Structure 1
Amino acid sequence: MGDDSTVGIILAGGRGERAKPITLQSADYIRSKALIPFAGRPLIEWIVETCRDQGIRCFYVVAQGAENRSQIKLVLGHGERYGVEIDYSRARFDQYNVGSGAATLHNLEQWNLTGSALVMPVDSLFDFSLDELRATHETADAVVTVAAVSRTPEEIAGKYGVMRTTANGLVSGFLEKPQLARIHEEFPHTGPSHRPHTLPTNAGMYLIDCARLRPAARTPELIRLAQQRLDWGHDLLPWLVGHDQRVAVGPIARLGDLGSIGDYLGTLGEALNGLYPYVNRALGDPLSADPRYWIHETSLRTKDSATGTTLAQKIAEGSVVLGPGVRIGRHAEIGTDVHVQYTDIGDGVDVAEGARLDRTVVGDGAVIGPYARISDSYVGPMAQVQSDRRTPVRLEQHTAVGDGAYLWPGTRLSGVSVYPRLRVPALSKVPTGTQLTSSDDILQWI
């Protein structure tokens, strides 16, 4: 392209290791991170539609491998249903996509991009203004403008990288996940004796000047790095700053990471709580504003098999209690004495009597048995939680149950990942952080 319009480059080739088992359809078949379900639709749809509504009409998707590429293309096609154009990286160049920076630089050449491009990962949700990023980019005459989220030193310590900036908003250096003492040492104005301050952290989104970045990428040093491993944050940005390329910082309102189970649940909770304006608009007016929840009309009309009453009747009489931040999809069946808050319930889900769901995701077609207690957890599509009143299932602390898994009554898991299609007996002493990937893993805890 040779005009001044901004195109979108979506980096969608990662394997989603941190988010397993959400990114698994079976133990040996990876679901693209782009297709992680989020508030009723694949994540990549939110990204495309958010950018489209800010004027981006042409997208380039950097995919990786047959599974990843085919899954994304089945959802997005070439953009017809979204009113945009979508192209994909060529499969024969997958070998060059070694890191986010290398993938960007190689594909800029292949697509012959010369205007501005917004580069973004596929495992994050952003609340940003493209116009504001453009204004910052143009004022700074930048090669790259880094979308930045302001965070306190306490939020940053050990988790986020910090950018040092000059008085005119250009990046002068980086601190990679510093501890709190180092932050206070490098930025004395953030110390305990000063009023609260925030610092800019890299959100992983970049507005780039393709025509100026491409020549920089042709230097022998960057060519060599791009053949090994070249990430945006760790490698490319420090190289650009170290070689006097103008890198600016453009503040954005919010970043929601979805790369791990905890981050995914936290971001979804924020979205259902109204903190992402685009998600608000897309979900439409809530059925109730206080508490705030959305329920598809087909679920309101669905009768439960035990009492024959509809969800609408149960809400009216108070036998189903919905707190804030709840979304219920199509044709869900909800029993009596169910309490739900800050939870996303997919299409065709069965939630039996007495269940309690808090800060949880329940995927399409899943079954939640009677009196289950589930908090801060993920239950994948078609999973079955076979709880009962005498031996209820308890899931908590970022437990994740993969697609089609089966949990027996009495199962108690805290911070445990269950891979797809496993049958899990009534386990209760599995250490936090354990991944149950096969029947052999399960046997050692019986």
Structure 2
Amino acid sequence: MNRDEETVGIILAGGRGERAKPITLKSSDYIRSKALIPFVGRRLVEWMTDACRAQGVRRFYVVTHGLENRGQIKLLLGHGERFGVDITYSRSRFDRYNVGSAGATLHNLEQWDLQGRALVLPVDSLFDFDLAAMEATHSAEGAVVTVASVARTAQEIAGKYGVMRTDERGLVRGFVEKPGIGELGSLFPRTADDPAATLATNAGMYLVDCRRLRMLAREPDLFRRSHQRLDWGGDLLPHLVERGVPVATHTIGRLGDMGNVPDYLQTVQLVLDGAYEQMNRLMAAPDRTDPRCWIHESSLQTKDDVTGTTLAQKIDDGSVVVGAGVRIGRDVEIGPGVRLEHTDVGDGAEIREGAVLARSAVGESAVVGAWADITDTYLGPMAQALSDRVRPLRLEQFSAIGDGAVLWPGSRLCGVTVYPRLRVPALAGVPAQTELRRADDILRWV
């Protein structure tokens, strides 16, 4: 294929992942690249690379930022040899411009001298999309940019998502930034009359005509703005639409935003439930379909230290219940009386006797103590949620426990974030949305 006729991938991986903390933290002062967020047994950027490769993308360009971010991603992906693709990275001298998603894109399009089509993707989202269909829309409308859109109801949109105003052809005519429910009813009367009516929201993925976009970026006003902070959704797209540049929309199947803990956990659950067709094709088939679950053979043969029986034996005799939407990685030790549903369990984790987990993610080598009750919670790699029958631990309402943190038995946390490596005594009554970042924060609640 002629290089100008192929679609290349541009992965925007330079952000700091502030909203997703502590998932994006290895320690309180060491950022884990958003690209390396652990997700259903792999890192998020690995799934992204495989998903695009399965649709014909063979060349990738990764926009990074800073020593830690660049080093982590390059150590994982290399130059693409393991994935059967070719990967090029942004130059460090452009880091000062890589603070806005659109500015970073425009500067690197020039550096890489890209002329054909490019699919621009943020690294902190999961997309269910058909690239060939998106390319067909892009070509049919003669678009400079085609925006991947997700259809959402007014209730889903209100105060959370921006909305695109489109004409009958699907070309964008304007943007409404995070409107309230009343404003939506005024601007789009059909949503007031029909609660199920949907509108197009920006999914954050773009198919671009590199040559034409580069020409526009050389115009003085846009050139100046690209050397400041220029984002795709809030800056570049409105600028193009105001100029009359053809910006099309194409509806994709689904978007999973990993930008915060609740959305991350919801996306994990949807993937394990089979709601993402693309992930269904990339993942191995479930080991069991009723209920739908994956259990690695090494974990089925691992014995717990209470009964000395294997997980396979405990599932057969009913002393362990594995419900729908569960993935159990390698060498996981699970005690008797455990109940799991809609939960992802990483390699080497330990789930002790009587623990119950639902709609949660347990990182590699993490420990869940006996009789713990954990729902809607992220437990990071090597974190320890200690618990016993007399002092059971409870985590719920989108609590997030960072890498290597230790919670003592008896803790009751609802919607609380604990930063990596902290040692937290038994706490209760800590308000939701509280972030325990350092030891001083803990002392306030002891």
Give the shorter-chain TM-score range. over 0.9
What SS does structure 1 have at the residue aligned with 2:74?
helix
C-alpha deviations, 1:394-422, integer Å up to 9, x for none? 00011010111111000110111101110
Q: Secondary structure at the match of 2:56?
A: coil
Aligned residue for 2:250, secondary structure, equals strand
CA distance in structure 1 between the aligned counterparts of 2:195 and 2:434, rounded to whole angstroms = 41
SS in 1 for 2:201: strand
| TM alignment of 1:181-200, pairs within 5 A | 181-192=182-193, 194=194, 196-200=196-200
* CA shift for structure 1 position 173: 0.3
Q: Distance in 1 between matches of 2:422 and 2:191?
A: 49
TM-score by length of 2: 0.99
Greater mean deviation of Cα atoms: 277-286 or 434-443? 277-286
Specify whether residues 228 and 195 from structure 1 end up closer, same or farther in structure 2 by C-alpha distance, changes over 3 A only: closer
Matched, 1:339 2:339: yes
Give runs of aligned pairs for residues 232-243 of structure 1, distance below 5 A: 232-243=232-243
Secondary structure of 2:410's aligned partner: coil
Aligned to 2:271: 271
Cα offset, 1:285, TM superposition: 1.9
What corresponds to 2:160 in structure 1?
A: 159
Q: How many residues align?
A: 445
Indicate conservation of the 8 Å contact 1:291/1:324, yes or no.
yes
Output the CA distance in 2 between the equivalents of 1:208 and 1:286: 36
Q: SS at 1:18's partner residue? A: coil
Partner of 1:294: 294
Cα distance in 2 for residues equivalent to 1:146 and 1:285: 32
Cα distance in 1 between the residues matched to 2:30 and 2:85: 29
Q: Distance in 2 between matches of 1:88 and 1:61?
A: 5
Q: Give the distance between the partners of 2:138 and 2:249, measured in 1 at CA.
A: 8
Cα distance in 2 for partners of 1:23, 1:190 equals 37
Equivalent residues of 1:380, 1:403 under 8 A apart = yes
Report the alpha carbon displacement of residue 281 of structure 1 after superposing the two structures with TM: 2.6
Structure 2 residue 100 is matched with structure 1 residue 108 = no
Structure 1 residue 169: Cα displacement: 1.2
Matches of 1:434 and 1:240 in 2, distance apart? 40
Q: 2:15 corresponds to which residue? A: 14
Aligned partner of residue 199 in structure 1, secondary structure: strand
Deviation at 1:282, TM superposition (A): 2.8
Once the two structures are superposed, the pairs formed by residues 71-90 of structure 1 within 5 Å of their partners are 71-90=72-91
CA distance in 1, matches of 2:218, 2:244: 16
CA distance in 2, matches of 1:353, 1:405: 21
- 1:30 matched to which residue of 2? 31
Structure 2 counterpart of 1:159, one-letter code: K
Percent pairwise identity: 63
What does the per-residue CA deviation read over 1:101-154, in whole Å, with 9 as the maximum and x for residues that have no partner? 000000000000000000000000000000000000000000000000001111
Offset at 1:195?
A: 6.8
Residue number in structure 2 paired with 1:149: 150
Given residue 302 of structure 1, which amino acid in structure 2 is its aligned partner? T
Cα distance in 1 between the residues matched to 2:91 and 2:227: 17
Once the two structures are TM-superposed, the CA of residue 283 in structure 1 deviates from its matched residue by: 2.5
Q: Which moved more, 1:53-62 or 1:182-191?
A: 182-191
> 2: CA distance between counterparts of 1:343 and 1:281?
20
Q: Please report the TM-score for the alignment, with normalisation by the length of structure 1.
A: 0.99
Deviation at 1:81, TM superposition (A): 0.5
The whole-number CA distance in structure 2 between the counterparts of 1:197 and 1:56 is 34
Q: Deviations over 1:322-346 (max 9, x none)?
A: 1110000000000001000000000
Partner of 2:364: 364
Equivalent pair of 1:98/1:227 in contact (CA under 8 Å): no
1:432 is the counterpart of 2:432: yes
CA 49–2 in structure 1, closer or farther in 2 if over 3 Å, else same: closer
In structure 2, the residue matched to 1:403 is 403
Is contact 1:116-1:210 (8 Å) kept? yes
Residue number in structure 2 paired with 1:169: 170
Deviation for aligned residue 1:58: 0.1
Which residues in structure 2 correspond to 1:111-126 (within 5 Å)? 111-126=112-127
Corresponding letter in the other structure for 2:291: P
CA distance in 1, matches of 2:220, 2:445: 53
Match of 1:387 in 2: 387
2:74 maps to amino acid: K
Query: 2 CA distance for matches of 1:101 and 1:233?
Result: 8
Q: Quickly say closer, same or farther: Cα 1:250–1:356, change in 2 above 3 A.
A: same
Deviations 1:144-166 (A, max 9, x none): 00000001111111111100001
Partner-residue secondary structure (3-state), 2:376: strand
Cα distance between partner residues in 2 of 1:293 and 1:2:
41
**Aligned residues of 1:116 and 1:208 also touching (Cα < 8 A):** yes
Partners of 1:98 and 1:226 within 8 A in 2: no
Cα displacement (A) at 1:92: 1.0
> In 2, are the aligned partners of 1:150 and 1:200 still within 8 Å (CA)?
yes
Residue by residue over 1:268-319, the C-alpha shift from the partner in whole angstroms, topping out at 9 and shown as x without a partner, is: 1100000112322333121210111000000000000110100000001110
Q: Residues 50 and 282 of structure 2 are in contact (CA less than 8 Å); yes or no, is this contact kept in structure 1?
A: no
Q: Distance in 1 between matches of 2:3 and 2:355?
A: 57
**Code of the aligned partner of 2:198:** T
Q: Aligned partner of 2:46: which letter? A: E
- How big is the shift at 1:30? 0.4
SS of the residue 2:413 aligns to: strand
Is the contact between residue 2 and residue 113 of structure 1 (CA under 8 Å) also seen in structure 2? no
Task: Tell me if structure 2 keeps the 8 A contact 1:7–1:57.
Answer: yes
Q: Residue type of the partner of 1:258? A: M
Deviation string 1:413-433 (CA, Å, 9 cap, x unpaired) is 011110111000000011111
Q: Which stretch of the first structure deviates more once superposed, 271-280 or 312-321? A: 271-280
1:64 aligns to what? 65
The 5 Å alignment of 1:310-349 reads 310-349=310-349
Deviation, 1:98, is: 2.4
Moved more, 272-281 or 17-26: 272-281
Q: In the aligned structure 2, how far is the partner of 1:409 from the partner of 1:353? A: 14
Contact 2:326–2:343, Cα closer than 8 Å, also in 1? yes
One-letter identity of the residue aligned with 1:111: W
Secondary structure at 2:69 match in 1: helix
**Whole-angstrom CA distance in 1 between matches of 2:433 and 2:192:** 34
Other structure's SS at 1:191 match: helix
SS of equivalent residue, structure 2 residue 5: coil
What is the letter of the counterpart of residue 44 of structure 1?
Answer: V
1:197 is displaced (CA, Å) by: 1.4
Instruction: Return the alpha-carbon distance in structure 2 between the equivalents of residues 188 and 279 of structure 1.
Output: 36
Residue 2 of structure 1: how far off its partner (Å): 4.9
Aligned-partner Cα distance in 2 for 1:357–1:239: 47
Shift of 1:196: 3.0
Distance in structure 1 (CA, Å) of the matches to 2:292 and 2:411: 31
Unaligned runs of 5+ in 2: none
